[in-house]
Each structure stands twice: as structure tokens, then as C-alpha cells.
Amino acid sequence: MINVGILGLGFMGTTHLKAYQSAAGAGFPCRVTAVCDPVESRRKGLPDGLGGNIGAAVTERLFDPAQVKGYADAAVFFADADLHLISICTQTPTHVDLATRALRAGKHVLLEKPVALTSEDVQKVQQASESAGRICMPAMCMRFWPEWSWLKDKIDSMEFGACLSLSLQRIGGTPAWSRDFYLDATRSGGAIIDLHIHDADFIRFCFGDPAAVTCVGYKTGGAINRMTTTYHYPGGPKLITAEGGWMSSGVGFRMRYIAEFEHATADFDISRTPQLLLAADGKSDAVSVDSLSGYDLEIRHILSAVGGGTSRMIASISDAVATAKLLEAEIQSVNSGERVSLSS
């Protein structure tokens, strides 16, 4: 039985909680036995009613407080000897310190993205994970999103021939929740780090590190909040781009990809039904995938890893280091107006 603790019970912490509960209901040997949050009502299982880009706000009671320990102090929480795995769902500037302390306390960690704003800080978490001999998995949920893992499989298998081009789009209104955090570039890193990270990471997941990037965009409030990046892969796909950012508040969230293969084109759009279409031989058909969300599947993956059921991590802390370096190259490209090479 894997005893789980959740640190931070805002929208994302609540999402993790429900995913663990779903996993337990599906037969995974896990249970949430403790939570940690400075807000007393959250420690009692009362939700905030906050939402995010994907998924509705939760309004029902989250858990029975008689069955789940509630901690206000992270140090006491980490000292709970019954805990094996901790989900850290706090704001980005706290991640390095909290993850390091959890790992040193002997816990495995699922750490929300972005791990940190710089690759140097992400490396500190990597070192702590290696020193402790514990898993620290970044919560890169798009690697697990069914329609996206389907795309990864088709790229790898070359079922439709080689991938010729891939364009991704992730755009939404400026977050209406936790605005003091998201609009402070020194804390959130802006949209290029907090939002666009998903697509940058997924491109690395599919194709490895590019030789270079060209990123154009502009800043608002001191952060790069709107950008389009071209990823250069000599000998690989001819055209890979990712457009992302925050626009005016109230703009609906858009998440889309179009992947062109030699013999087919895959088209995903979160705003329609069916979301994933495959065009080939003059017709377009819906594609059926797993009904679970990427959040559910990433939770089940780390549970399998902690329980010894898998030795190959789909997302690792070393991946988080490399993705942070890729984002740093994109930021450099925006600031310089030039193509930027990635060092090996």
C-alpha cells in the first residue's frame, strides 16, 4: 500500500487528489493519508471552487477529515513516517526547497510543472533526487494525455510514414485565478515557462533536443507572454512549430495540434467533438483513445514506478532539466531576435 500526501490543495492539488482516489478505485494499492496546506478549510477537505484551463472547479467535499491527516507545517508533514509518496502542488518558487526537503526525508515526489524557472535550479532537484535514491517525477501531463501519447506512438512507429511537420497551439486568456502569482514574472516566469512548457517538453519527448530554435514574441508585464517557436531538426521533420501564450482575459482556452505524416494527417482540437481526427485516403475519421485524462495517467504511472511495476519513467527529472534549457534558448531567441543553437 502506497501512502500518499498532497502538499498544496488549490486547483492542481485537488486534481492530484481526485486522480489518486480514482486510481485507488481502479485497484491501484494507494491511499491519500495526509494533506498539507496553510488554509484550515482545505485541510478539512473543503474545496476552493477554483478552476483552471482544463477541468471544472471542484465543489464537493474532497475527503473525510477523520480519515486524512491535515498538516499546516510542511516540516511536520515531511516527518510523517507513514508517507511514501508526496505530490507537491504549490507555486513554482517553492518547488526547489520543498522537493529537496521531501526527498531528503525519504519520500518519492511528484512535482508540479514547471519544476523551477531556471535549469540551474531544476538541477538542484535532480541532485537531491539522485542523492536520496528516490523518484522525483515532473508532472508533465501532456506526455500522458491520451491523444498526445497516441501521437507519440505514431511518430515512433512510423505507422503512417515519417512525420513531416507538427504544429502545436496552446493559447488562453490571462489566468483569472491567482493573478498575483501569474502576472508576476519573477514568480511564474510568464506564459513561456508556465504554459508553453507543455509543448516545448512534448516536442523534446517526440524528437529529442533540437539543434536550434527561433522564437518570436513579445513581453507584457516584463514576461514573454506570447510566442511562436520554430524548432530546427536537421535530418528530421521539416517544420515543427509551437504557438502559445496568454491573451486578453475571457479568451477561451485553445489546445490543438496538426501532425502531417507521409500518408496521413492527425488533427486534435480540444474545443470540438470528436477531438482527434485522422485524415487518410481521402476521408477523415475519429480516433478513439483512453477516456482517462493525462492527470489520471501520470498519477498511475508514478504509482507503478514507486510500487516497482515499471522501471522506465515516461517523465523524469532529467527531462525537466533539458526542457528548462530548451526554454532558456527560446527566451534568448526572443530577446536577441536571432536563432539560438542548443549546446550538446
Average pLDDT of adjacent 10-residue blocks, the chain of 344 residues = 97 96 98 97 85 62 95 98 98 98 98 98 98 98 98 98 98 87 92 97 98 96 95 95 90 95 98 97 96 97 92 94 98 97 80
CATH of the domain at 330: 3.30.360.10
Supply the pLDDT for residue 49. Answer: 65
**Terminal-residue alpha carbon distance, the chain:** 41
Supply the pLDDT for residue 55. Answer: 59
Q: Does residue 318 sit within a domain?
A: no
CATH of the domain at 68: 3.40.50.720
Burial classification of residue 222, based on how many CB atoms lie within 10 Å of its CB (0-12 exposed, 13-18 middle, 19 or more buried): exposed
Domain boundary among 139, 162, 195: 139
At 201, phi and psi to the nearest 5?
A: -65, -40
Q: What angle do CA 252, 257, 263 make, to 5 degrees?
A: 155
Supply the pLDDT for residue 276. Answer: 98
93 and 147 co-located in one domain: no
* Residues whose CB falls within 8 Å of the CB of residue 86, separated by 6 or more in sequence, listed in order: 4, 5, 6, 7, 78, 102, 107, 108, 109, 110
Q: Does residue 261 sit within a domain?
A: yes
Specify the 3-state DSSP secondary structure of 277. strand
Query: Which one-letter DSSP state was computed for residue 45?
Result: T
Per the structure, the complete domain to which residue 53 belongs is given by 2-139
In a 13 Å sphere around the CA of 37, the CA atoms on its Cβ side amount to: 27
What is the distance between the alpha carbons of residues 288 and 43, in angstroms, rounded to a whole number? 39
Q: Does residue 38 sit within a domain?
A: yes
For residue 69, give the H/E element and its range: strand 69-71
Q: Which of 97, 197, 191, 60 lies closest to 142, judged by CA?
A: 197
Q: Does residue 313 sit within a domain?
A: no
217 and 327 co-located in one domain: yes
123 and 194 co-located in one domain: no
Q: Does residue 305 sit within a domain?
A: no
Q: Does residue 20 sit within a domain?
A: yes
Asked whether the beta carbons of 2 and 30 are under 8 A apart, the reply is yes
Give the cell for residue 129.
533526487
Give the cell for residue 243.
504557438
Domain boundary among 139, 170, 187: 139
Supply the pLDDT for residue 178. Answer: 83
What is the distance between the alpha carbons of residues 252 and 344, in angstroms, rounded to a whole number? 38
Supply the pLDDT for residue 344. Answer: 53
**Amino acid symbol at 82:** D
148 and 131 co-located in one domain: no
192 and 337 co-located in one domain: yes
Write the DSSP assignment of 170-236 as a string of letters: EEEEPPSSSHHHHT-HHHH--HHHHTTHHHHHHHHHHH---SEEEEEEEEETTEEEEEEEEEE-TTS
State how many domains the chain has.
2
Q: Does residue 317 sit within a domain?
A: no
158 and 257 co-located in one domain: yes
Supply the pLDDT for residue 52. Answer: 58
Domain boundary among 77, 107, 139: 139
65 and 160 co-located in one domain: no
Give the cell for residue 315.
517523465
In a 13 Å sphere around the CA of 82, the CA atoms on its Cβ side amount to: 13
Q: Does residue 36 sit within a domain?
A: yes
Give the cell for residue 143.
506526455
Supply the pLDDT for residue 86. Answer: 98
151 and 242 co-located in one domain: yes
What is the distance between the alpha carbons of residues 313 and 286, in angstroms, rounded to a whole number? 30
Supply the pLDDT for residue 56. Answer: 56
